[in-house]
């Protein structure tokens, strides 16, 4: 279903361009996405592309419910803001005031540090394929925290931004401690219900019809407690539109770029953006809100590492009349040829790993867990990551086997395949 609503001077031509790009990006015979675009209170565009279940050829619908992954953090952040406004907690409180089993690290780590991703607490959600079975095992918040509580800090708290899901797991535990409710109960009573979000919950409700749940591709057995308050919320584009209109637009967030309350504050062609994305096995999400223009773009995809942030940025740029370039993701059939471990030529101790996630390649660094980026093909043996502004050229030997990759990021770095 496609909804077109006239909203002031909005350009229908721009919306037609967006529709062509999205149609090209999400073919009808593959896993796809649901996209909603709004301006003010008007929904300009709402459409589903592709399949929910690829094997059974079941199409996606606009009202389907997706795992929104790290978009969860904004809900956790707002719940903490509620407790701050009620003076039940203070941003300067040490986290051990509420989580007494978290050991002293030699520095004061505060709630503000957790909210702003500056605590230096290492990432807990960094599994390799041999640990995927853990995704299907129920965990208590204390059991999740046990994965990282004894690890050394990555730096001095408060000195630098370092994205870590662990921060928002700790915030969920604080919500439970202070409110006396389970995280899911608190969110239902004080966040979802007050905002009229009937399709949103902490993981799936038992009463949710199976045909309303988008099928992740690849499908990975998983339970919500393993991602908890850092990534365990499920929702649809309609509820996220309600959430943006009722809550996000009312937040008093500085225009200065940074990370606050579960949002990335950025800019797009001079316009402030409040945004966040998310990745889980089989799902990718992104929401971007431009407060000055009251434009909201939400993309929920049922495929891993789908590049939704880049797509959302492009769509938003079209809506505000300042289009940025968007490069369609080319299809490469032999992605496995590029996977493996690569070692920096000039530094034998530095490695990076390239894995395949469904129809995507994901680049990670073992010494920077939780910071994987997807790389998209641009030609024969060439890829790019706009997120980190890098271009990759893979080099093959005389037999056609990939032997190295040259990464251009300011200068060219050569990585040799092991």
What six digits make up the tokens of 300? 């929920």
Cross-strand partners of 272:
267
The top-level CATH class assigned to 335-417 is: mainly beta
Strands, DSSP E only, in 203-321?
233-235, 258-260, 263-268, 271-280, 283-290, 295-301
**How far is it, in rounded angstroms, from Cα 179 to Cα 87?**
12
Residue found under tokens 């520095």: 107
What six digits make up the tokens of 271? 């316009």
**How far is it, in rounded angstroms, from Cα 62 to Cα 240?**
13
CATH 3.40.710.10 maps onto the chain at 66-319
12 burial class (0-12, 13-18, 19+ CB within 10 angstroms)? Answer: exposed
**How far is it, in rounded angstroms, from Cα 32 to Cα 25?**
9
User: Per this entry, what is the length of the chain?
Assistant: 418
One pLDDT digit (tens) per residue for the chain, 418 residues: 444 444 444 578 999 999 999 999 999 999 999 999 999 999 999 999 999 999 999 999 999 999 999 999 999 999 999 999 999 999 999 999 999 999 999 999 999 999 999 999 999 877 655 677 899 999 999 999 999 999 999 999 999 999 999 999 999 999 999 999 999 999 999 999 999 999 999 999 999 999 999 999 888 899 999 999 999 999 999 999 999 999 999 998 888 999 999 999 999 999 999 999 998 989 999 999 999 999 999 999 999 878 899 999 999 999 999 999 887 766 666 888 999 999 999 877 889 999 887 667 889 887 776 667 888 888 788 888 877 889 999 999 988 899 999 999 989 999 999 9
Residue found under tokens 């434009």: 295
CATH 2.40.128.50 maps onto the chain at 335-417
CB 366 within 8 A of CB 128: no
- What is the pTM (predicted TM-score) of this model? 0.85
**How far is it, in rounded angstroms, from Cα 382 to Cα 392?**
6
Indicate the CATH number of 66-319 among 2.40.50.40, 3.20.20.70, 3.40.50.2000, 3.40.710.10: 3.40.710.10
């Amino acid at each position: 279903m496609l909804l077109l609503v006239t909203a002031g001077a909005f350009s229908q031509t721009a919306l037609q361009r967006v529709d062509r790009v999205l149609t090209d990006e999400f073919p009808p015979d593959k896993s796809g996405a649901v996209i909603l675009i709004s301006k003010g209170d008007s929904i300009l565009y709402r459409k589903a592309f592709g399949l929910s279940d690829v094997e059974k050829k079941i199409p996606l619908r606009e009202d389907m419910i997706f795992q929104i992954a790290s978009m969860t953090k904004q809900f956790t952040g707002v719940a903490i803001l509620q407790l701050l406004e009620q003076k039940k907690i203070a941003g300067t409180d040490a986290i051990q005031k509420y989580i007494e089993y978290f050991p002293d690290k030699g520095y004061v780590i505060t709630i503000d540090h957790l909210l702003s991703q500056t605590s230096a607490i290492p990432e807990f959600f960094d599994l390799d394929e041999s640990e995927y079975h853990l995704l299907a095992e129920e965990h208590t918040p204390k059991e999740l925290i046990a994965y990282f509580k004894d690890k050394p800090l990555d730096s001095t708290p408060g000195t630098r931004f370092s994205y870590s899901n662990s921060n928002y797991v700790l915030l969920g535990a604080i919500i439970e401690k202070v409110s006396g409710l389970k995280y899911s109960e608190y969110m239902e009573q004080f966040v979802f219900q007050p905002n009229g979000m009937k399709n949103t919950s902490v993981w799936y409700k038992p009463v949710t019809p199976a045909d309303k749940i988008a099928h992740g591709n690849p499908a990975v057995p998983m339970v919500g407690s393993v991602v908890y308050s850092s990534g365990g919320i499920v929702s649809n584009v309609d509820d996220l539109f309600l959430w943006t209109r009722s809550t996000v637009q009312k937040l008093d967030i500085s225009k200065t770029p940074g990370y606050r309350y579960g949002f990335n504050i950025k800019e797009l062609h001079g316009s402030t953006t409040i945004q966040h994305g998310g990745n889980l096995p089989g799902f990718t999400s992104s929401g971007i809100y431009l407060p000055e223009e009251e434009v909201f773009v939400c993309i929920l995809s049922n495929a891993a590492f789908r590049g939704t942030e880049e797509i959302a940025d492009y769509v938003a740029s079209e809506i505000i009349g300042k289009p940025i370039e968007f490069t369609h993701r080319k299809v490469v059939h032999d992605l496995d040829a590029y996977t493996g471990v690569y070692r920096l030529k000039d530094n034998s101790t530095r490695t990076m790993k390239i894995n395949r996630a469904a129809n995507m390649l994901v680049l990670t660094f073992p010494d920077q867990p939780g910071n994987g980026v997807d790389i998209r093909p641009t030609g024969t043996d060439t890829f790019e990551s706009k997120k980190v502004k890098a271009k990759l050229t893979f080099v093959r030997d005389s037999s056609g086997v990939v032997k190295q990759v040259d990464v251009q990021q300011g200068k060219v770095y050569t990585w040799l395949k092991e």
